[in-house]
């Protein structure tokens, strides 16, 4: 996790002891599981507390409210993807197309994991309007921006040593997550071969555009 044992604090600002840290982690794991499964039951802090076997008061002590919980979930998920650990990223080589394929394939893999499904469920559950999100879920909105910024930085890393037009790279950064979410929405309805072809077409188009 991003926080160390010595610095991890509750929403009230108190330092968490070992039991408190374990409770916090259990709540995060349960919340991620609830988001990932999408069982149809309305998602709420009360549900997370119930499934974690703790009281609402315990959850409130740890995260403050639902906004604090979702923000902490996103920080945890960002950390789990490795997006905040550039020192662990692989050495980048190959053609533009090979590099774009690596990025697209990485996103495809993440979107198919419980962690990726949890993020998408959370995204879908937030208010559509930016202003409403900022008013109702300021911490979650900031954490979601951090999650997405980590992916943008990873994309920059994959292309950093190539002499590419910065404007094109910036536009492609915006395109890839949106396009991949669209393809990901077809997982249940399209064949594996069709999904692979779609990803290859996306990569070919992006590589040609960047040249």
Q: pTM for the whole thing? A: 0.83
The domain locations on the chain are 86-210
User: What pLDDT score was predicted for residue 5?
Assistant: 47
CA-closest candidate to residue 158, choices 101, 202, 111: 101
User: What pLDDT score was predicted for residue 3?
Assistant: 53
Per-residue pLDDT of the chain (211 residues; tens, 9 = 90+): 455 544 577 777 778 888 888 999 999 999 999 898 865 555 778 888 888 999 888 898 899 889 999 999 999 988 877 666 666 666 778 899 999 998 899 889 989 999 999 999 888 888 888 899 999 999 999 999 988 888 888 888 888 888 999 999 999 988 999 999 999 999 888 999 999 999 999 999 999 999 8
User: What pLDDT score was predicted for residue 141?
Assistant: 93
User: What pLDDT score was predicted for residue 205?
Assistant: 96
* Distance (Å, whole) CA 128 – CA 139: 16
* Distance (Å, whole) CA 45 – CA 138: 17
Quickly tell me which residue has 């979601």 as its tokens: 144
User: What pLDDT score was predicted for residue 6?
Assistant: 44
User: What pLDDT score was predicted for residue 199?
Assistant: 96
């Amino acid at each position: 996790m991003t926080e160390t044992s010595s610095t991890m604090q509750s929403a009230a600002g108190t330092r968490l002891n070992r039991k408190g840290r374990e409770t916090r982690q259990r709540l995060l794991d349960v919340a991620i599981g609830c988001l990932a499964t999408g069982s149809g039951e309305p998602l709420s802090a009360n549900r997370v507390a119930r499934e974690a076997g703790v009281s609402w008061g315990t959850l409130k002590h740890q995260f403050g409210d639902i906004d604090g919980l979702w923000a902490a979930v996103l920080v945890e998920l960002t950390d789990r993807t490795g997006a905040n650990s550039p020192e662990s990223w692989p050495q980048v080589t190959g053609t533009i197309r090979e590099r774009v394929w690596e990025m697209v394939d990485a996103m495809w893999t993440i979107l198919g994991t419980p962690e990726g499904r949890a993020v998408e469920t959370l995204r879908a559950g937030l208010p559509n309007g930016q202003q409403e999100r900022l008013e109702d879920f300021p911490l979650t909105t900031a954490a979601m921006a951090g999650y997405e910024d980590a992916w943008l930085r990873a994309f920059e890393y994959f292309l950093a040593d190539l002499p590419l037009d910065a404007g094109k790279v910036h536009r492609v950064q915006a395109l890839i997550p949106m396009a991949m979410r669209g393809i990901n929405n077809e997982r249940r309805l399209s064949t594996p071969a069709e999904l692979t072809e779609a990803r290859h077409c996306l990569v070919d188009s992006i590589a040609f555009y960047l040249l």
